[in-house]
Chains A and B, each alone.
Chain A
Amino acid sequence: MLISRGKQRLLMLLTYAVLLGFAVYCLFPFLWMLATSLKPDEEIRTINPTFWIESPTFKHFDNVLHGSKFMTFFKNSVFIALVTTAASLLISIFAGYALSRFVRFRGVKLFSIAMLLSQMIPGVLLLIPLYLVMKNLSLINSYMSLILAYTTFTVPLCTFMMKGFFDSIPYEMEESAEIDGCTRVGIIFRILMPVSLPSLVATSLFAFLNAWNEFMFGFVFINDESHRTLTPGISLFKGLYQTDWGSMMAASVMSVLPVVILFVFLQKFLVGGMTAGAVKG
């Protein structure tokens, strides 16, 4: 309508070309990772690499699963990420509710400034004192140290996300529940939670991804194989396997898998959450 038909067709072709280019750019490393993990060593070490695998093998997967502590790392990561998600969700539901409904109190307003500022404080700068705090509490080499650190850094964003969702729910619903004798906590869990299920999903997805992907604190706080999480564990494989790229890619495939599965199902929520996060800062 705004441009001639010929130009429109050209624009459409161009759009497809650009998007296709981006798709290849974004997916290629993953496909190559998968291909490498399934190839026998001779096919990895060749100067004519292809996606076609002559004799696919699960040797590398077997190697990683049985020849290393991969499963321990994996379980640790799942546990820590789940606890972090639950904890930050619970904390941010209440904090977000307060920010949405009770900003008229000065204390709550101050709290909202504190949350905003804490989003700006990067983890690296707090690495040393946090390490000392954990050491003094003798939490080094424990799940608790990571759960506490991750929860601290995810709560602010989750709180703002929850606040945004609560803002969109009319207050009248709560008033009538209150007249019927429902307590505040009751209101949150019986009235608001069921309505804001998608937002809960988005928020917990964020918390989970953050905890699952975090590297630095896991690397510094944990020195003990039995408590190590996946990301530092994998980075240490580099020393263990030297140039056994097949095994390293097999480990990568297995640690990306849960994230990708979650992502495929919850992609829609994630986009909404990212935009909310970007808009709220």
Chain B
Amino acid sequence: MEPIELERPKKRAPKWRVAPMTLRERKIKRIAYLFVLPALLFFLLLNAYPLVNVLLDSFQFKNLMNKALSGFAGLSNYREVIHNEYFKTALWNTVVWTVLSVAGEYVLGLISALALNQPIKGRTIFRAIIIVPWVVPIVIAGMTWTWMLTPDYGIINLWLVKLGLLKEPYYWLGELNTALITVVFVNVWRSFPFYTISLLAGLQSVSRDIIEAAAIDGAGITRRFWHIILPQLKTVSLTIIFIHVIWTAINFDFIWVMTEGGPLYSSETLPIMIYRYAMQDYNFGNASALASMMLGFMISGFILYYFFSVRKKGAN
């Protein structure tokens, strides 16, 4: 995908139409606006208005448990959030969670896409099987893996013990140092198929001619992969990685279903923290401040990405 490429009309309207609008054109304009109206209403009422509200609320005292305290708060919500004991933990966890998930998903996606791109029998069936994890609800995926990982009768523990890799069953989701990593592992399992499909589409558009030319010039398989195939996947890769960094950083479901941020905040990320502020402490001011900060992170990421890709393009 190009960063933000807004559509231009394919054919420029002829000059005579641009001048004063004809009656027909005016009628079409009215229809056009009528057609986008419902979607626009949804956007304004349930996207734009709430978004503005988050920003405004972050500067207000707003606590449903303590209604006496209200009014303009300045930056005190932000201060409170940053000085929260677990803010740094949550921020670090969010980074770890996002980076490890996206990296793992990309590697698995790339390997599976490369395998699916080979001319072999049964490709469609394998492709169908690989997409399955992506279509099931996160809650179900989380539950099933939680069951397989339980210390008492979970099959993964039993097998690892039997293979001699573990001395005794391990409580993967309940120990401070493995809880987050385990959820990352399950998240990778569920999310990598999206990469597979996107990268496969990218691979199929890599030109055969160039690969053949390189082969004739004596480039081996690994060289062809690193120097020809991978560079051609750059645009697709950047796009899906960028989208998934956002999707992963803001994901609430997985961690909530599997660990609820525990044990002892060891798998708490920023979205979980927002939820706790809002729905457990009813402190909407603090929750909004944290949400605004996340929005700030995202926007800066977006701008960085945009400038990066625009500059790259300008250089070429």
Contact = CB atoms under 8 A, between A and B. Distances in A.
A95 B116 CA distance: 36
B64 to A, nearest CB: 10
A124 B271 contact: yes
A11 B135 CA distance: 30
A91 B42 CA distance: 10
Nearest to A237: B143
B112 A18 contact: yes
Contact of A94 (B36, B144, B271): B36
A255 B250 CA distance: 25
Interface stretch (A29-37, A52-60, A61-69, A194-202): A29-37
Interface stretch (B74-82, B84-92, B99-107, B126-134): B126-134
Contacts of A275: 197-198, 201
B226 interface: no
B315 interface: no
Nearest to B169: A47
A85 interface: no
A64 B42 CA distance: 37
A190 interface: no
Q: Is the interface of B mostly helix, strand, loop or mixed?
A: helix
A155 B42 CA distance: 9
A280 B3 CA distance: 10
Interface residues of A, number: 104
Contact of B126 (A23, A109, A121, A125): A23
A105 B155 contact: no
Contacts of B165: none
B36 A98 contact: yes
B163 interface: no
Given A26-B133, A98-B36, A126-B54, A112 B246 contact: no
B294 to A, nearest CB: 6
Given A91-B38, A234-B139, A278-B201, A98 B32 contact: yes
Chain A facing B: main interface SS: helix
A2 B9 contact: no
A112 B144 contact: no
Contact of A3 (B54, B221, B284): B221
Contacts of B176: none
Contacts of B183: none
B7 A103 contact: yes
Contact of A22 (B7, B118, B130): B130
A130 to B, nearest CB: 5
B240 interface: yes
A114 interface: yes
B49 A129 contact: yes
Most buried by B among A27, A104, A114, A184: A104
A124 B211 contact: no
Given A46-B153, A120-B298, A133-B46, A12 B120 contact: yes
Contacts of B143: 234-235, 238, 248, 252
B8 interface: yes
Contacts of B166: none
A97 B246 CA distance: 29
User: Lowest 5 CB-CB distances: which A-B pairs, in order?
Assistant: A129-B50, A102-B32, A122-B250, A129-B53, A95-B39
